[in-house]
Amino acid sequence: MKTMVLKVTLTEDEDGRWSASIPSLAGCSSWGYSKQEALENIKDAAEIYIEDMLAAGESLPTPSDTVEVINEPAIAIPL
């Protein structure tokens, strides 16, 4: 089992909502009324995005400053 850790960009909008995007997954974005909700929503969006990539036979992002692949189970906890 591999674990992919993806960098998320969070931005607070003028209306107080939070926007979240993943730079290594072009167009993968979401939002929430709180930081935590935005992170939960972008995680769901990333899982669907990656499932679609795999189903289409596309290659996943390679390790870089925005993606880390770990060759063992792991959890990621935002701080």
Residue 35 lies in a domain: yes
pLDDT at 73: 73
Q: Phi and psi at residue 21, in whole multiples of 5°? A: -145, 160
Q: How many domains does the chain have?
A: 1
Residue 40 lies in a domain: yes
Answer positive or negative: Cα dihedral of 71, 60, 55, 28.
positive
CATH code, 29: 3.30.160.250
pLDDT tens for each residue of 30-46:
999 999 999 999 999 99
Q: How confident is the model at residue 55 (pLDDT cuts 50, 70, 90)?
A: very high
The predicted model scores a pTM of 0.84
End-to-end CA distance of the chain: 24
Q: Phi and psi at residue 48, in whole multiples of 5°? A: -65, -45
* Per-chain mean pLDDT for the chain: 90
Domain that holds residue 22: 3-70
CA distance 72 to 53: 21
